Structure 1
Amino acid sequence: MFKTRTNKNIDVQNLPWAPERITSTRRLPHVFAQDELPQADKRGLAGARLFFSARTREASRVEHTAPMSGRDTVVVTGFGPFRQFLVNPSWRAAQGLKLIGLGERIDVCIKELPVSYVQTQRVIAEIWQTLHPKFVVHLGIARGSSVVTLEQTGKNRGYRDKDVRGHCPVSHCCVDEAPEELCSVIDMRAVSKQLKEEAGMDVVYSRDAGRYLCDFAYYCSLYHGQGRAALIHIPTSGGLASADRLVPLLQTLIRTMLPADRPVGDMKR
C-alpha cells in the first residue's frame, strides 16, 4: 500500500488553511432551500432547475484554462442533480474548494459528473487525457451519514442499479477484462486515523464505495490515473452537512493527501 509522508504533530487550528485563518472575501456557494428560491424561480421545479443549471454552467466554464508553468493541477469532481438534490452537495463542495484553493502551487480544476454511467465514463477519460492532473479527488454523497468517509478501493463489477437515465452498464462493469478492484496510491486508513486522532475530525475509512456512480467513477479514474485518485463520501446530515464546516475540512484532508516534498507518482509501497 502506498503511504503519505505526514506531520505527526499536526494542529489544524494553526494551519494556514484552518477555517478562521482563511482570508478570502469570496463566499462559499449558498445553499438554497426550496422555500427560499429566488422570486423569479418560484414557478416550480422547472424554474429551479433552470436557475441552478445556469449557476453550474457558469462555475464550470472557467475550468478549461491551462495551469500556470511550474504548478500542479488537481481536479475535484462533484456529481450533478440526483433525486431530491437539485444541486448536488458534492458539487457545492467542489465549488467551495475551488474558491479557497489547495495551496499556492496547486491549480484546482472542478468538473461536474452527470449521474450517468456513459457520461461519467467519458468525462473521467477526458480529465486524464486532456488535463493531465497530478491527482483527482472525487466527491460523492453518503445519504444519511454524518461523517466524511475515505474510500480505499474501486470495484470493477456489480453495477446493476440504474442511473438517472434508467441505464446501467451492459456488462455491469467499469472496464472489460480489467482487475476486480483497484486501490488509491494514498493510504486512506493512515490518513483517516491521523486526522481523527490528532485533529479530532469526523473521518472514517472504507473499502466498499457502494457500487453505484461514485464507485464507478472512482474505478474509472484509478484505471486511467494509475491509482492517483481519491473518493471522498461527504455527509448529508449533521454539522458537516454545512458547506461552511465541510469545505475547510476537505481542504485540510486533501492537502494531507498531497505531500509538498514529492510528486504523488513517486510514492513507494
Structure 2
Amino acid sequence: SRQLRKAVTFSDSFGPFGEHAVNASWVAVQELKKLGLGRDVDLYVYEVPVEYQAVQSLVPSLWKQYHPQLVVHVGLSGMATTVTLEKCGHNYGYKGLDNCSFCPDSQCCVEGGPECIDSVIDMDSVCKKVAASGLGVAVSMSKDAGRYLCDYTYYTSLYLSRGRSAFVHVPPLDKPYGAEALGRALQAIVQEMLQLLVQAEEKIHCQHAHS
C-alpha cells in the first residue's frame, strides 16, 4: 500500500486542570498510541500544556519539525457525552485565564487572521463512517470548540497548516466511555481522516496527469 507521510497526534491538554483530576484526552491518546494507526503511518504523540504561550511556541515547532500530513488535536470537554469532531477554529474571544493565569492581551490567536478557519477534513463524512463502523461509541460534530485552549490550539494549527488539522473533543472518563473505547474511537477517526486526505491527493494527481 502507499506510504503515508508522518501523522502527528497531539493531546491538546494534559494532567489535571479545573475540576478534572484525570484528563481523558491524554488517557485516550495514550490508548491510541498503544493501538497505532497501521504500518504505513508514523504516529507521534505530544502533551500540549494548558497555556497560551506554550501553544504559541510548541505547535509551530512541531509542524516545522515533522511536516506531517495531518495533525489531530484531542481535548477534554466536561460537557461532552459523545466523541465530538470540531469543524473549525476561531480567532477571537479568548478571555479565559490559562493554567498560568494568563490570557492574550489581544484576546485572539493570530492578529489580522481570518475570524474562522475550517478544517479541510470532511467531518460529516468521517462522522458517518465511524458511526456506521459498529464501535459502540457515539460520534457527533460541532462548530464551536469553546474559545479556550482547545479552540486556541486548533485555530493556531489550522492557520499554520492551511486547514490540514483536526480537533476531537472527548468526554470525561467513564462518562460514558472508558479509556479503551475512547482509544479505539480515536484510531477509527484518525484512520478515516488520513484515508480522505489520501483520496483527495490522488484525485489532484490524477487531474494534473490528464491536464
Q: In 2, distance between residues paired with 1:201 and 1:243?
A: 12
Aligned length: 198
Question: Of the candidates 173, 197, 204, which is equivalent to residue 140 of structure 2?
Answer: 204
1:238 aligns to 2:195 (yes or no): no
Structure-2 residue corresponding to 1:75: 8
Instruction: Give the number of the structure whose alpha-carbon radius of gyration is greater.
Output: 1
1:134 aligns to 2:69 (yes or no): yes
Structure-1 residue corresponding to 2:208: none
1:228 aligns to 2:164 (yes or no): yes
**Aligned-partner residue type, residue 238 of structure 1:** K
Q: Which has the higher contact order (CA 8 A, sep 6+)?
A: 2
User: Which 5+ residue runs of structure 1 have no aligned equivalent?
Assistant: 1-69
Q: In 2, distance between residues paired with 1:152 and 1:265?
A: 20
Q: In 1, distance between residues paired with 2:18 and 2:118?
A: 29
TM-score (norm 2): 0.86
1:182 aligns to 2:117 (yes or no): yes
CA contact (8 A) 1:228 1:264 kept: no
Cα-to-partner distance string for 1:186-209 (whole Å, 9 max, x where unaligned): 111222133334536400011111
TM-score (norm 1): 0.68
**Aligned-partner residue type, residue 88 of structure 2:** T
Shift of 1:144: 3.5
List 4+ stretches of structure 1 deviating above 3 A: 84-87, 197-201, 263-268
Identity level (%): 39
Shift of 1:153: 0.4
User: Which 5+ residue runs of structure 2 have no aligned equivalent?
Assistant: 205-211
1:109 aligns to 2:58 (yes or no): no
Q: In 1, distance between residues paired with 2:88 and 2:111?
A: 17
CA change 1:88–1:261 in 2 (3 A) is closer
Structure-2 residue corresponding to 1:7: none
**Aligned-partner residue type, residue 155 of structure 2:** Y
Shift of 1:88: 2.1
CA change 1:155–1:197 in 2 (3 A) is same
Q: Over the residues paired in the alignment, what is the CA RMSD in angstroms?
A: 2.0
